Structure 1
Amino acid sequence: MSEKRIIKAAAVQITPDFESHDGTVKKVCNVIDEAGAKGVQIIVFPETFIPYYPYFSFITPPVTAGAEHLRLYEKSVVIPGPVTQAISERARMNNMVVVLGVNERDNGSLYNTQIIFDATGEMLLKRRKITPTYHERMIWGQGDASGLKVVDTAIGRVGALACWEHYNPLARYSLMTQHEEIHCAQFPGSMVGQIFADQMDVTIRHHALESGCFVINSTGWLTDDQIKSITDDPKMQKALRGGCNTAIISPEGNHLTEPLREGEGMVIADLDMALITKRKRMMDSVGHYARPELLSLAINDAPATPSFQMNEHRLKSVQLPIAEELKNDNKLSSGQ
Structure 2
Amino acid sequence: MKIAVVQDGPIYNNLNASIEKTCDFISDAAKENTDLIVFGENWLSGYPVWLDICKDVNLWDHDPIKQVWSDMYVNSVDILSNDLQKLQSLLRENKMHAVIGINEKVTSGKGNNTLYNSLLTINDSGEIVNHHRKLMPTYTEKLVHGLGDGKGLKSVDTPFGKLGGLICWEHWMPMARQTMHDASEDLHIGVWPFAKEMHHLASRHYAIEGRCHVVAVGQIMHKDELPTGLTISESIQLDESNLILKGGSAIYDANGQPIVAPIYNERTVIYKNLDLQSNLKERMNLSVSGHYQRPDIFKYSVNKER
> Fold match, TM over 0.5?
yes
2:29 to 28, 35, 39: 35
Structure 2 equivalent of residue 283 of structure 1: 286
Please tell me whether the aligned partners of residues 13 and 45 of structure 2 are also in contact (alpha carbons under 8 angstroms): no
TM-score, structure 2 normalization:
0.89
Question: C-alpha offsets along residues 237-284 of structure 1, whole Å, 9 cap, x if unaligned?
Answer: 639735532111111111112322112111122211221111101211
Give the secondary-structure state (helix, strand or coil) at the position aligned to 1:285.
coil
Q: Structure 1: how far apart are the matches of 2:267 and 2:147?
A: 30
Partner Cα separation in structure 2 for residue 21 and residue 302 of structure 1: 29
| Residue of 37, 59, 62 corresponding to 2:58 | 62
In structure 2, relative to structure 1, the CA distance for the partners of 1:246 and 1:126 (3 Å cut) is: same
State the SS of the aligned residue for 2:20.
helix
Check conservation: 2:6, 2:38, Cα contact below 8 A.
yes
Which of the residues 130, 139, 146 maps onto 2:135?
Answer: 130
Task: Give the 5 Å matches for 1:1-336.
Answer: 7-18=1-12, 20-59=14-53, 60=55, 61-63=57-59, 64=62, 65-107=65-107, 108-189=113-194, 197-227=196-226, 230-236=230-236, 238=238, 241=244, 244-303=247-306
Which has the larger displacement, 27-36 or 130-139? 27-36
In 2, the alpha carbon distance for the partners of 1:10 and 1:173 equals 27
C-alpha contact (below 8 Å) 1:104/1:111 kept by paired residues: yes
**Structure showing the higher strand proportion among its residues:** 2
Greater helix share, structure number: 1
| Equivalent residues of 1:99, 1:115 under 8 A apart | yes
Query: Does the residue aligned with 1:119 lie in a helix, a strand or coil?
Result: coil
The AA in structure 2 aligned to 1:68 is V
Structure 1 residue ranges without an equivalent (≥5): 1-6, 190-195, 304-336
- Greater CA radius of gyration, 1 or 2? 1
One-letter amino acid of the structure 2 residue matched with residue 62 of structure 1: N
Q: 1:226: Cα distance to partner?
A: 2.0
Shift in alpha-carbon separation, 1:113–1:228, aligned structure 2, 3 A: closer
Distance, in Å, in 1 between the alignment partners of 2:93 and 2:234 is 44
User: Partners of 2:184 and 2:5 in 1: how far apart?
Assistant: 22
Runs of 4+ in 1 over 4 A off after TM superposition: 227-230
Report deviation, 1:236: 3.3
State the SS of the aligned residue for 2:157.
strand
Asked whether the equivalents of residues 119 and 131 of structure 2 are also in contact (C-alpha less than 8 Å), the reply is yes
Kindly provide the amino acid, as one letter, of the partner of residue 104 in structure 1.
Answer: E
Q: Which residue is equivalent to 1:318? A: none
1:35-80 CA distance string (max 9 Å, x none): 1111211111010111111122223422232111111111111003
Question: How far 1:123 sits from its partner (Å)?
Answer: 1.0
Partner Cα distance (1:162, 1:175) in 2: 12
Higher mean alpha-carbon deviation, 60-69 vs 133-142, is at 60-69
SS of structure 1 residue aligned to 2:299: coil
Q: Kindly provide the CA deviation profile for residues 194-218 of structure 1, in whole angstroms up to 9, marking residues without a partner as x.
A: xx61001111111011001111221
Alpha-carbon offset, residue 88 of structure 1: 1.0
Alpha-carbon separation, structure 1, partners of 2:4 and 2:122: 15
CA-based RMSD of the aligned residues comes to 1.9
- Give me the TM-score of the superposition, normalised by structure 1: 0.82
> In 2, distance between residues paired with 1:48 and 1:224?
17
Contact 1:10/1:216, CA 8 A, preserved across alignment: no
Distance 2:297 2:136 in 1: 27
Aligned 8 A contact 2:190 2:217 in 1: yes
**Is this contact kept in 2: 1:218–1:246, CA < 8 A?**
yes
CA 1:71–1:119: 2 relative to 1, 3 Å: same
CA contact (8 A) 1:100 1:116 kept: yes
Q: What is the identity percentage for the equivalent residue pairs of Structure 1 and Structure 2? A: 29
Structure 1 Cα separation of the partners of residues 227 and 117 of structure 2: 24
Cα distance in 2 for residues equivalent to 1:173 and 1:14: 30
| Aligned-residue offset at 1:227 | 4.9
